[in-house]
Chains A and B, each alone.
Chain A
Amino acid sequence: MALAILLAIPLALVGKWIDIELRKLNSRFLKTAKEGARDGDTKKVGRQIVKSVSAIFFAFTIFTVVGTYLLTIMIFLIYPQIGASILTALKLVYFAIPFFGVVGILDNLRDKKIFKFVVAFGATYLILVLIGGVI
């Protein structure tokens, strides 16, 4: 699982690049929408939304299918070659991923008093771990 996540992250960057390119493409649709607006043609404006949504749908469907296919092949090729020590390291990485996720969540909290949230989180974690350890 950790191997899959580590290999998939660069694909997410490709997805971001596709997203930016699609938004640039939308500027063309905006020009056509403005032409439609000048003629008072509401249907022409609506068609630009349909075109844009269709472009997004097809681009990401193709990207998801191709990306999943490539990633699956890579994992099937790489996984049998991995040694025992790297497998153990990958298990550790898999275990650490939720920690990175929690950092992401705490980092996203838009509050000036972030410190009190961090303290509350740390206290909850430590209390539960200590109680759990005693039990």
Chain B
Amino acid sequence: MRIALIKTFFRSFFIQGCWNFEGMQNVGFAFGISPVLLKTVEGKKMRSKALLNSLELFNTHPYMATAILGAAAGMERAKSIDDGKDGKDGRDDISEMKKMLSGPLAGLGDSFFWAALKPLFSIIAVISGFMNGLIAPVVFIILYNSVHIWIRIKGFLEGVKHGIGVVNFFQRLKLPLVTERLSGMIVIITGVLLAGLSFFTPHFLDIESFGFWRELRVLLIVPFFIILFARKKGVSLLLMLYIFSFISVVVISLLG
């Protein structure tokens, strides 16, 4: 059983492997839980039922899926033990657990990993890149994956141990609070990074000859807020970048 659980953990990295518009991560989930099903479900008919159940619609944050897979594996194991005692069918419980956990964990994972952790470590990597360009991707990979892999491993183990009780583990982590604090750190670090860029980039690009650069540096915050306001109103960043490029070319061509 231990080997089956280890296989399930590593297979959870392929949860998005066959992402489709009908069942989303369902094939990845079925692939992940297969080693446990092979151990716990006897007979072709029962295994077919279990596999078809695991192919129902499933979609959550890919890292959080490992915890749900762990919980499903733990419940499958418990069910097989129960089957030996009173023949209960806990498959509906697994389906319910997947539906109950996938939405909230997707929300937690999106805001924590995509909107906080990734930007934070990207900025730290960019800053380290100023010292040595080659070190930036290494810094990012080490920092980001140390947190990501830890949550995957811990979430999986908690899932196997406590089933649907895995939710307590995420409650203990207080991810919304951590996300808010990380967001605060992100804005401070980006402020520092951008201020640094406003000093060093003109030197690198040799545009200090404009003369009025020192005065413009403080005013840079104004176009920044205009871009942010436009973005909040739904204007695409790429579109704004192209418009800015076009205006820059026209204005500088006119100025000669």
Interface residues of A in 1-54 (CB under 8 A from B): 2, 6, 9, 23-24, 26-27, 29-30, 33-34, 36-40, 42, 45-46, 48-49, 52-53
A interface residue numbers (CB < 8 A to B)? 2, 6, 9, 23-24, 26-27, 29-30, 33-34, 36-40, 42, 45-46, 48-49, 52-53, 83, 85-86, 88-100, 102-111, 117-118, 120-126, 128-130, 132-133
* Chain A residue with the shortest CB-CB distance to B44: A40
Please, which residues of chain A bring their CB within 8 A of the CB of B28?
49
0/1 string, B156-198, CB within 8 A of A gives 1: 0000000000000000000000011001101110111111111
Shortest C-beta distance, B200 to chain A (Å), equals 10
B145 at the interface (CB under 8 A from A): no
* Chain B residue with the shortest CB-CB distance to A96: B244
Q: Which of B207, B223, B242 contacts A99 (CB 8 A)?
A: B223
* Chain B residue with the shortest CB-CB distance to A37: B51
Q: Is the CB of B191 within 8 A of A93?
A: no
B interface, how many residues as a size bin?
Answer: 35 or more
CB contact under 8 A between A48 and B27, given known A121-B191, A124-B187:
yes
Q: Is the CB of A27 within 8 A of B21?
A: yes
Q: Is the CB of B38 within 8 A of A42?
A: yes
Please, which residues of chain B bring their CB within 8 A of the CB of A86?
249, 252-253
Determine the main DSSP class of A at the interface with B.
helix
Q: Is the CB of A126 within 8 A of B44?
A: no
Please, which residues of chain B bring their CB within 8 A of the CB of A85?
249, 252-253, 255-256
0/1 string, B11-36, CB within 8 A of A gives 1: 00010011111110011101100100
Most buried by A among B51, B188, B199, B253: B51
Please, which residues of chain A bring their CB within 8 A of the CB of B48?
37-40
CB contact under 8 A between A102 and B184, given known A24-B21, A39-B48, A132-B195:
no
Shortest C-beta distance, B33 to chain A (Å), equals 9
Q: Which of the candidate stretches B73-81, B94-102, B224-232 sits at the interface with the other chain? A: B224-232
CA distance A52 to B30 in the complex (A): 14
CA distance A18 to B119 in the complex (A): 26
B237 at the interface (CB under 8 A from A): yes
Please, which residues of chain B bring their CB within 8 A of the CB of A109?
115-116, 119, 183, 186-187
Shortest C-beta distance, B27 to chain A (Å), equals 5
CA distance A89 to B247 in the complex (A): 9
Q: Is the CB of A40 within 8 A of B195?
A: no
CA distance A122 to B205 in the complex (A): 24
Q: Which of A24, A26, A92, A121 contacts B27 (CB 8 A)?
A: A26
Please, which residues of chain B bring their CB within 8 A of the CB of A9?
238, 241-242
B149 at the interface (CB under 8 A from A): no
* Chain A residue with the shortest CB-CB distance to B215: A133
Q: Which 8 pairs, one residue from A and one from B, show the smallest C-beta to C-beta distance?
A: A124-B191, A128-B195, A37-B51, A26-B20, A40-B47, A52-B18, A40-B48, A42-B34
Please, which residues of chain B bring their CB within 8 A of the CB of A34?
52, 55
Most buried by B among A6, A89, A111, A133: A89
Q: Is the CB of B202 within 8 A of A124?
A: no
Q: Which of B14, B201, B238, B249 contacts A49 (CB 8 A)?
A: B14
CA distance A34 to B224 in the complex (A): 51
* Chain B residue with the shortest CB-CB distance to A45: B30
